[in-house]
Amino acid sequence: MAGKKREPKDCRDDEKTITHFYKGIAPAVKGLVDSCKGDDCFHHLEPTPIPTQESATQIINQTRRILFPGFFTQTRLDALNLEYNLGQETTELFERLSKQIILSIKHECLRYDQPCSQCIQRAHETALKFIQALPDLRAILATDIRAALEGDPAAKSFDEVISSYPGLFAITVYRMAHKLFELDVPLLPRMMTEHAHSLTGIDIHPGAEIGESFFIDHGTGVVIGETTEIGKRVRIYQGVTLGALSLPRDARNRFKNKKRHPTIEDDVIIYSNATLLGAKAVIGARSIIGGNVWLTESVPPDTKILLKRPELVFIGNGKKTTNKFKPRRKK
Amino acid sequence: MAGKKREPKDCRDDEKTITHFYKGIAPAVKGLVDSCKGDDCFHHLEPTPIPTQESATQIINQTRRILFPGFFTQTRLDALNLEYNLGQETTELFERLSKQIILSIKHECLRYDQPCSQCIQRAHETALKFIQALPDLRAILATDIRAALEGDPAAKSFDEVISSYPGLFAITVYRMAHKLFELDVPLLPRMMTEHAHSLTGIDIHPGAEIGESFFIDHGTGVVIGETTEIGKRVRIYQGVTLGALSLPRDARNRFKNKKRHPTIEDDVIIYSNATLLGAKAVIGARSIIGGNVWLTESVPPDTKILLKRPELVFIGNGKKTTNKFKPRRKK
Amino acid sequence: MAGKKREPKDCRDDEKTITHFYKGIAPAVKGLVDSCKGDDCFHHLEPTPIPTQESATQIINQTRRILFPGFFTQTRLDALNLEYNLGQETTELFERLSKQIILSIKHECLRYDQPCSQCIQRAHETALKFIQALPDLRAILATDIRAALEGDPAAKSFDEVISSYPGLFAITVYRMAHKLFELDVPLLPRMMTEHAHSLTGIDIHPGAEIGESFFIDHGTGVVIGETTEIGKRVRIYQGVTLGALSLPRDARNRFKNKKRHPTIEDDVIIYSNATLLGAKAVIGARSIIGGNVWLTESVPPDTKILLKRPELVFIGNGKKTTNKFKPRRKK
């Protein structure tokens, strides 16, 4: 399409009018500055900035490179240069993580007018504890990887699981964030899990307690709330919600930091789009929850719960047909 | 694993064969060029390029930095440098936005053979109107932030809501895009909301009308269609669809720009994975729609709608068990 | 808030303590290196690195620029410079793709101790075949674009569909990945579809077989499994799962590479959050599957399947109300 000659002249001519509009910017900026003084502007005008999503993402990626050496680097890694590589990555991670923890702690201190005593020291201490915990993180993630390989017939190799599976990524980030959550780091852990949520559609709160060999298949739409407890060798599918029952608005504050989410015991399987709500929902060991089930109560161990097959209405060209009829398999 | 010595010789040797394959590229390129002449190639060979997702994303991020000063910058921001910062960001935004609006308008003109009269001027005018509207955007977003803090017991502070909540991000982008939609900017608004959809799993069409104090929790899978109307203080959860009833293929064009989506009145709560379809679905004020409910009709005000508790089949090791039995709480 | 003067002194003072913590890093690194020798560390210490998500993403974006000339570039493209542009992009793609296929093949060879015979040559051959297939990819994607424009009343133009629709992006990436899957490229295809899954919430396995004029609306939560077969002119909505029935753990390996997923014949429509599971689920041509339907069996052609309207409990301020009552339409 020779659109060029169709382009109207004035599109080039009225360039000069731009200056007119520039005059309008100054008052607009003034309006923006003024509106910052009112209650309707949430700003963060502080001596120390708040941690950014970018830094949370860098911490996730660098920790992941350390946990799974050679999987997320273009550069060649072998048994010989491994120690240098890990040494450098770990030192960088220590600095990067310390800095963001400092920002997170100072931010809390300023926000809540607490004395910010020893917060730099606390931050470095916490960063070191996190790094010292990485071998254990590696070990529990190894159980998650094996669970994925065992749980999914489409899984070709553990390399595929590590490099491509969103469920493993979400669990990896959750396990990092949960460690920082346990070490009382504010803000940063939630930023990390929200990064995973954004990439995978899997929303795991850093406060949840999740045992080894955890597998999430597909994962989009999964929600695991703050006070959820999950045992060992549990498997869940896309769209599963482990959530809270809603509270009367007044009651809400009393419920902060109270158990509000389900407990899933060992070896439970929960199929796609099942919804389990509230602290009363304790799913006994080895039980199976079918797809689309909606539960707010307890289930004994070794129990299989299925939605009673819903009645379907078949309307075949006018007349009601049954589904006995078997069509030829598509070639 | 000393994989090195296991690496077969020929992997290094047959490097030279590459030239052979390069010979195949020229005809392949010719094939690609030729296929551009047919109907089966959608191309955009125009004097002006189309706006890109990158530019839409830059506009979103810069506007967000202006709306929430200090939250999304690594650099320190305080009451003293605020004005300079806002002045610079706003000027940049004006130029960036004007440029993309010009591309969007010219693109429409060329596509539909309309006279592109004064389109540069119109673009600058529109960009300025958008910037002038930012204080009001800030004010309504403040109501959304407070609604999130009130609506979610897990929310620790408004800083956490602003920096981490996907629901707030999706609503922020929607409110920007809706403003541009009201100013008749083509293409760009939808690109902006699709960026939010991609990051959050929340799909809000720029054309929807949404009142203040809107809260979306978790959000993955939420769909809010083009002609949806939502009142004040409405709360919805993950997987909620406010969609259109499907139309007979012939009828479809007649229905463009007609009301096709639900109306949600003030103070309504819609729980996870509920599906409301069609313009006839008018949900009266203060009503509550339970999880998994599927509705295509109206609901009076002050009404609570729940799915009748579905019958569950309990299969406990062979014999049917009830769910009276309470297992010991997992320690 | 003049937070500055509120910032506690010691926050600046104890900077020196940092050296103390640095001493802790060396042993931590040692621990990380040692843990690499055990079974609980998955590493990739090989002479050739594994393909990275970044490279998979670059291949997707460059192929997309070639398939839809002018849509995803800021630089102006017209009939005159088109050939140069396609020539350069295609040559780059050939090199980039060959390199990643080499890594994928070598990786398989090393992992499974296979002789890596002619793998560089095979890689270049495969990359060329992929490039030669691009005109056909363009042609089938043109049918998908038209299907989107016809299927969605909110769609304003094919430019909007191409530049903004997540469903089209997911299908585009699937069709690229499926071609590489057919050419027996390991690892890379799944990395590509996982990139699309991450951006769109649509999870299509590269092994699925999907006919022309395929449309996915909204798409978040869609899952299409490895052995799914989909005919022509099929339309599906957000949250639709075409999945496998779960297998007893022992049976799982026997089922790898066996048909485990549904077959959808021509002109079928599947509405939001419907779940179809297992190879036995063969949906006959022109059938319609309603929202939230859960199916594991066959359906004859020309059949409409709806969930029997679930009983709803209406609780209007105390007394049970009906939904005859029509509230005034919200203004």
Contacts 24+ apart (CB under 8 A), C195-200: C195/C53, C195/C56, C195/C57, C195/C60, C196/C60, C196/C169, C196/C170, C196/C172, C197/A166, C197/A220, C197/C170, C198/A166, C198/A199, C198/A200, C199/B198, C199/C166, C199/C169, C200/B198, C200/C166, C200/C167, C200/C169, C200/C170
Residue C10, in any domain of the structure: no
pLDDT of A165 higher than 60: yes
* Residue C255 touches partner B, C-beta closer than 8 Å: no
- Give the Cα separation of A173 and A144 in Å (integer): 13
Helices (H), chain C: 3-6, 10-13, 18-22, 25-35, 53-67, 82-111, 119-132, 134-151, 158-164, 166-182, 188-200, 252-255
* Residue B153 touches partner A, C-beta closer than 8 Å: yes
Chain A residues with CB-CB distance to C229 below 8 A: 330
Chain C residues with CB-CB distance to B18 below 8 A: 98, 120, 124
Q: Domain boundary at B200, B219, B236, which? A: B200
- Give the Cα separation of B222 and B273 in Å (integer): 8
pLDDT band at A329 (very low <50, low <70, confident <90, very high): very low
Vertex C62: Cα angle to C57 and C66 (nearest 5): 145
Instruction: Check: CB of residue C218 under 8 Å from CB of residue B203.
Output: yes
What is the domain count for chain A?
Answer: 2
Q: Averaged over B141-156, what is the pLDDT?
A: 92
Report CB contact under 8 Å: A153, C252. yes
- Give the Cα separation of A213 and A160 in Å (integer): 17
Would you state the pLDDT for residue B306? Answer: 84
* Nearest alpha-carbon partner for B289 in C294, C308, A260, A246: A246
Domain check: are C188 and C308 in the same one? Answer: no
- Give the Cα separation of C258 and A223 in Å (integer): 31
Q: What is the DSSP letter of A299?
A: B
Q: Hey, how many other C-beta atoms are within 10 angstroms of the C-beta on A30?
A: 13
Q: What percent of chain A has pLDDT over 90?
A: 63
Would you state the pLDDT for residue B110? Answer: 79
Would you state the pLDDT for residue B330? Answer: 41
Residues 6+ apart with CB under 8 A from C194: A164, A165, A166, C53
Report CB contact under 8 Å: A7, B48. yes
Domain check: are B194 and B327 in the same one? Answer: no
Q: Is A304 helix (H, G, I), strand (E, B) or coil?
A: strand
Closest CA–CA distance from residue B130 to any residue of chain A (Å):
10
Would you state the pLDDT for residue C311? Answer: 66
CATH number of the structural domain spanning residue C302: 2.160.10.10
- Give the Cα separation of A310 and A321 in Å (integer): 17
CA dihedral C20, C26, C31, C33 (to 10 degrees): 160
Instruction: Check: CB of residue A166 under 8 Å from CB of residue A203.
Output: no
Domain check: are B165 and B52 in the same one? Answer: yes
Would you state the pLDDT for residue B315? Answer: 72
Domain check: are A266 and A330 in the same one? Answer: yes
Domain check: are C194 and C51 in the same one? Answer: yes
CB burial of C123-162 (b: ≥16 within 10 Å; e: otherwise) equals bbbbbbbbbebbbebbebbbbbbbbbbbbbbbbbebbbbb
Residue C35, in any domain of the structure: no
pLDDT digits (tens, 9 = 90+) for B166-220: 999 999 999 999 999 999 999 999 999 999 999 999 999 999 999 999 999 999 9
Would you state the pLDDT for residue A247? Answer: 67
pLDDT band at B255 (very low <50, low <70, confident <90, very high): low
Nearest-by-CA chain A residue for B155: A256
pLDDT of B9 higher than 50: no
* Residue C59 touches partner A, C-beta closer than 8 Å: no
Would you state the pLDDT for residue C146? Answer: 96
Report CB contact under 8 Å: C317, B302. yes
Would you state the pLDDT for residue A249? Answer: 56
pLDDT of B75 higher than 90: no
Domain check: are A140 and A230 in the same one? Answer: no
Would you state the pLDDT for residue A41? Answer: 87
Would you state the pLDDT for residue C125? Answer: 94
Residue C22, in any domain of the structure: no
* Residue C21 touches partner A, C-beta closer than 8 Å: yes
Residue B137, in any domain of the structure: yes
- If you write DSSP's letter for every residue of A189-245 in order, what string do you get? HHHHHHHHHHHHS-EE-TT-EE-SS-EEES-TT-EE-TT-EE-SS-EEETT-EEE--
- Give the Cα separation of B263 and B284 in Å (integer): 9
Residues 6+ apart with CB under 8 A from B228: B205, B208, B209, B210, B242, B261, B262, B263, B264
Q: With a cut of 70, which residues of chain C have pLDDT below it? A: 1-17, 247-257, 309-312, 314, 316-331
Nearest-by-CA chain B residue for C197: B198
**Which H or E element spans position B248?**
none
* Residue C172 touches partner B, C-beta closer than 8 Å: no
Q: In the β-sheet with A288-289, what is the strand arrangement from edge to edge?
A: A215-217, A235-237, A269-270, A288-289, A303-307, B312-316
| Tokens linked to C211 | 């006919």
Instruction: Check: CB of residue C79 under 8 Å from CB of residue B46.
Output: no
Chain B residues with CB-CB distance to C326 below 8 A: 282, 298
Q: Which residues, listed in sequence order, are joined to residue A241 by a DSSP beta bridge? A: A223, A275
- If you write DSSP's letter for every residue of B168-225 in order, what string do you get? HHHHHHHHHHHHHHHTT--SHHHHHHHHHHHHHS-EE-TT-EE-SS-EEES-TT-EE-
pLDDT digits (tens, 9 = 90+) for C219-265: 999 999 999 999 999 999 999 999 998 765 556 566 666 899 999 99
- Give the Cα separation of B1 and B24 in Å (integer): 38
Residue A113, in any domain of the structure: yes
pLDDT digits (tens, 9 = 90+) for C9-36: 444 445 566 777 888 999 999 999 998 8
CATH number of the structural domain spanning residue A115: 1.10.3130.10
Domain check: are C184 and C240 in the same one? Answer: no
Range of the domain at C232: 208-246+257-331
| Tokens linked to C93 | 């793609």
Report CB contact under 8 Å: A329, C263. yes
* Residue C135 touches partner B, C-beta closer than 8 Å: yes
Domain check: are A106 and A242 in the same one? Answer: no
Domain check: are B196 and B212 in the same one? Answer: no
Range in A203-212, B7-16, B125-134, C19-28 the model is least confident about: B7-16
Range in A148-152, A256-260, B276-280 the model is least confident about: A256-260
Three-state helix/strand/coil letters over C119-139: HHHHHHHHHHHHHHCHHHHHH
Instruction: Check: CB of residue A73 under 8 Å from CB of residue C43.
Output: no
Domain check: are A193 and A212 in the same one? Answer: no
Phi and psi at residue A177, in whole multiples of 5°?
-65, -40
Report CB contact under 8 Å: C310, B298. no
Question: How many residues are given for chain C?
Answer: 331
* Nearest alpha-carbon partner for B294 in C160, C116, A276, C310: C310
Cα A70 off chain centre by: 24
pLDDT of A12 higher than 70: no
Q: What percent of chain B has pLDDT over 70?
A: 85
* Residue A197 touches partner B, C-beta closer than 8 Å: yes
Instruction: Check: CB of residue C178 under 8 Å from CB of residue C187.
Output: no
* β-strand pairing of B241-243 with C282-283: unpaired
Residue A31, in any domain of the structure: no
Report CB contact under 8 Å: B142, A47. no
Chain B residues with CB-CB distance to A196 below 8 A: none
pLDDT of A319 higher than 60: no
Residue B31, in any domain of the structure: no
Chain C residues with CB-CB distance to B197 below 8 A: 166, 220
- Give the Cα separation of B93 and B85 in Å (integer): 12
| Tokens linked to C74 | 């800021």
Residue C34, in any domain of the structure: no
Domain check: are C159 and C118 in the same one? Answer: yes
Q: Averaged over B89-113, what is the pLDDT?
A: 91
| Single-letter residue type at C291 | G
CA dihedral C27, C31, C32, C37 (to 10 degrees): 140
Would you state the pLDDT for residue A253? Answer: 61
pLDDT band at B317 (very low <50, low <70, confident <90, very high): low
pLDDT of B247 higher than 70: no
Domain check: are C65 and C116 in the same one? Answer: yes
* Residue B70 touches partner C, C-beta closer than 8 Å: no
